[in-house]
Homo-oligomer: A and B are copies of this chain.
Amino acid sequence: MTDLKEGVCLSAFWYSHEQCCWTSNQTTFADRDKCPQWQKWAELMTGHAEGAGAYVLNYFLYILWALLFSFLAVSLVRVFAPYACGSGIPEIKTILSGFIIRGYLGKWTLLIKTVTLVLAVSSGLSLGKEGPLVHVACCCGNLFCSLFSKYSKNEGKRREVLSAAAAAGVSVAFGAPIGGVLFSLEEVSYYFPLKTLWRSFFAALVAAFTLRSINPFGNSRLVLFYVEYHTPWYMAELVPFILLGVFGGLWGTLFIRANIAWCRRRKTTQLGKYPVLEVIIVTGITALLAYPNPYTRRSTSELISELFNDCGALESSQLCDYYNNPNMSRPVDDIPDRPAGPGVYNAMWQLTLALIFKIVITIFTFGMKIPSGLFIPSMAVGAIAGRIVGIAVEQMAYHHHDWIIFKNWCRPGADCVTPGLYAMVGAAACLGGVTRMTVSLVVIMFELTGGLEYIVPLMAAAVTSKWVADAFGKEGIYESHIQLNGYPYLDIRDEFTHRTLATDVMRPRRNDPLLAVLTQDSTTVEDVETLIKDTDYNGFPVVVSRESERLIGFVQRRDLTLAIKNARQKQDGVVSSSVVYFTEDAPQLPASNPQPLKLRRILNLSPFTVTDHTPMETVVDIFRKLGLRQCLVTRSGRLLGIITKKDVLRHMAQMMNQDPESIMFN
CB closest chain-B residue, reference A627 = B625
B450 near A452 with CB under 8 A, answer: yes
Instruction: Enumerate 6 A-B pairs (CB-CB under 8 Å) in ascending A order.
Output: A178-B442, A186-B197, A197-B438, A213-B235, A551-B636, A636-B637
Question: Judging by beta carbons under 8 Å apart, are A208 and B606 in contact?
Answer: no
* Contacting residues, chain B, for A625 (C-beta < 8 A): 625-626
Q: Report A439 CB to chain B, min CB distance, Å.
A: 5
Cα separation A654 to B502 with both chains bound (whole Å): 37
Give the docked Cα–Cα distance between A459 and B502 (Å).
47
Q: Is B455 in contact with A222, judged by CB distance below 8 angstroms?
A: yes
Given contacts A205-B460, A613-B605, A637-B550, contact A450 B447 (CB under 8 A): no
What is the chain B residue whose CB lies nearest that of A178? B443
Q: Indicate if the CB atoms of A438 and B198 lie closer than 8 Å.
A: yes
Q: Which residues of B have CB within 8 Å of A618?
A: 606
For window 540-563 of chain A, which residues contact chain B by CB distance below 8 Å?
A: 544, 550-553
On chain B, the residues within 8 Å of A178 by CB distance are 439, 442-443, 455
Is A181 on the interface with B (CB-CB < 8 A)?
Answer: yes
Q: Is the interface of A mostly helix, strand, loop or mixed?
A: helix
Instruction: List B contacts of A181 (CB < 8 A).
Output: 439
Known: A178-B442, A442-B178, A447-B452. A459 touches B205 (CB 8 A): yes
- The answer for the CA separation of A639 and B636 in the assembled complex, in Å, is 10
Does A212 contact B552, Cβ atoms closer than 8 Å?
A: no
A185-201: CB near B (< 8 Å → 1, else 0) gives 11000000111011001
**Cβ of A493 < 8 Å from any Cβ of B?**
yes
Inter-subunit contact A452/B452 (CB<8 Å): yes
- Contact, CB under 8 Å: A195 / B463: no
Identify which of B221, B439, B502, B637 contacts A201 (C-beta below 8 A): B439
**A456 part of interface (Cβ distance < 8 Å):** yes
Write out the residue numbers on chain B whose beta carbons fall within 8 Å of the beta carbon of A453.
221-223, 450
Interface assignment of A638: CB less than 8 Å from any CB of chain B: yes
Query: Within the complex, what minimum Cβ distance (angstroms) separates A357 from chain B?
Result: 33
CB-CB contacts below 8 Å: A441-461 with B: 442-443, 446-447, 450, 452-453, 455-456, 459-460
Tell me the minimal C-beta distance from A416 to chain B in angstroms: 13
A223, A447, A450, A613 interface centre (most CB from chain B within 10 Å): A613
Closest 4 CB pairs of A and B: A637-B637, A605-B613, A606-B614, A550-B637
Inter-subunit contact A621/B610 (CB<8 Å): no
> Is A611 an interface residue when CB atoms closer than 8 A count as contact?
yes
Docked CA distance A208–B213 (Å): 35
* B residues in contact with A551, CB < 8 Å: 636-637
Q: Which residues from B are CB-within-8-Å of A606?
A: 502, 610-611, 613-615, 618
A7 to chain B, nearest CB (A): 33
A420 in contact (CB, < 8 A) = no
Q: Which partner residue on chain B sits nearest A176 by CB separation?
A: B455
Indicate whether A636 sits within 8 Å of B221 (C-beta atoms), given known contacts A195-B493, A443-B178: no
Cross-chain contact A193 with B492 (CB below 8 angstroms): yes
Other than A197-B439, A220-B232, A223-B452, give 10 A-B pairs with Cβ distance below 8 A: A202-B463, A209-B456, A212-B456, A213-B235, A450-B452, A544-B636, A552-B636, A606-B611, A626-B626, A637-B637
**Residues of chain B contacted by A610 (CB below 8 angstroms):** 606
| Chain B, residue nearest A619 (CB) | B606
Given known pairs A452-B450, A455-B177, A605-B613, the reply for A636 and B186 (CB within 8 Å) is no
Min CB distance A515 to B, Å, is: 15
B613 touches A463 (CB 8 A): no
Nearest B residue (CB) for A439: B201
Q: Is A609 an interface residue (CB 8 A)?
A: yes
In the complex, whether A622 has a CB less than 8 A from a CB of chain B is yes
The answer for the CA separation of A628 and B164 in the assembled complex, in Å, is 30
In the complex, chain A residues 187-241 whose Cβ is within 8 Å of any chain B Cβ: 193-195, 197-198, 201-202, 205, 208-209, 212-213, 220-223, 232, 235
Residues of B within 8 A of A493 (CB): 194-195
Q: Kindly state the separation between the CA atoms of A606 and B636 in the bound complex, as whole angstroms.
A: 10
A452 CA to B223 CA, complexed, in Å? 9
Complex CA distance for A190 and B325, rounded to whole angstroms? 59
Give the residues in chain B near A194, CB-CB below 8 Å: 186, 492-493
Q: Which residue of B lies closest to A520 (CB)?
A: B636
Which residues of chain B come closer than 8 Å to A634, judged between CB atoms?
637
Per a CB cutoff under 8 Å, which of B447, B607, B613, B626 touches A622? B626
From B450, B455, B553, B638, A208 is in contact (CB under 8 Å) with B455
Best-buried of A213, A544, A634, A636 by chain B (most CB within 10 Å): A636
A193: chain B residues at CB < 8 Å are: 492
B-facing residues in A392-415 (Cβ within 8 Å): none
User: What is the CA–CA distance of A606 and B613 in the complex, to the nearest angstrom?
Assistant: 6
| Mask: chain A, 558-602; 1 = CB below 8 Å from B; 0 = not | 000000000000000000000000000000000000000000000
Contact code string A638-666 (vs B, CB < 8 Å = 1, else 0): 11000000000000000000000000000
In the complex, chain B residues whose CB is within 8 Å of the CB of A613: 605-606
A611 and B605 within 8 A (CB): yes
A408 to chain B, nearest CB (A): 14
